[in-house]
Amino acid sequence: MARRWLVTGCSTGLGRALVERLAQAGERVVATARRPETLADLAERHPDTVLALPLDVCDPVSCAAAVAAAAERFGGIDVLVNNAGYGQCGAVEEVSDGELEAQFATNVYGPWRLARLVLPLWRAQGGGHAVFVSSIAGAVPFPGLAAYTASKFALEGLAESLAQESAHLGVKVTIVQPGGFSTPYGTSAALPRQRVEAYEPVAGPMIAGLRGMQGNPALNPPELFAEAVHRLAGLAEPPLRLPVGEDAAQFLTMALSARTKEFEDVTAARLHVSAAA
């Protein structure tokens, strides 16, 4: 049975690849973007199953309209994929209040808003699946990406809280953690208006690496992400977290191991001090 999807951030990259995959599989999709004309070809090729709509996740009216249109067109929503987002480059000292607020407005407040709008539908229909597209940066901090990293850590906290709050309602939650993908993400990442030369040795190489992501054959293809999310939605018991890409698994394993060792070391030290006292 075809599922009913609402996907954000579909104009390029991972979101676009996902809509392509879902359309091929005969799924019913509300594909959204700030510029829906970028999705016109998909809607034209799949007029019965793909609805392209404008959606700015920072605009409450736009979000409510998209959810209402999805419910009207397909009778409900089974899977919400919060994919829209962007990267704000810069070290902590470089990122202004306005740049930080804009980063969180898109990467955290938007997904929170859409989840809040969709939850009443899921309570009425007895369940649904919320997919939050995070990043390895949601567990692995990268120098020069402080705001983006902080927003992804926050997004994962939102998703984990939602999973605990809504499981009894039949709502499933998955945090997708992509590694490096060959998409326009890096070229569209925003630079801070104020640059501090002292951070160039650590932030500079990171920004240069981001700029070289699109078209890089060494990185994961967007189709890998699309296939993973499509399969994820078909699982009776989807995982809370899903790394996508070999590099994602490697980075996350190293981060988990480092945190575990640090925790064990600190805990052991505290127990030793406590015992001595």
> Catalytic positions, please?
134, 148, 152
Q: How far apart are alpha carbons 95 and 83 in whole angstroms? A: 23
Strand ordering across the sheet containing 171-178? 50-54, 28-33, 4-7, 79-82, 128-133, 171-178, 241-244
* Ranges of H-type helices in 96-240: 97-104, 110-125, 146-166, 185-188, 200-211, 222-233
> DSSP 3-state assignment of 89?
coil
- What stretch of H or E contains 241? strand 241-244
Which residue, chain included where needed, has tokens 């075809």? 2
Angular region, 16: left φ>0, alpha ψ -120 to 50, beta rest: alpha
To the nearest 10°, the Cα dihedral for 30, 36, 39, 44?
A: 80
Tokens of 264: 């064990």
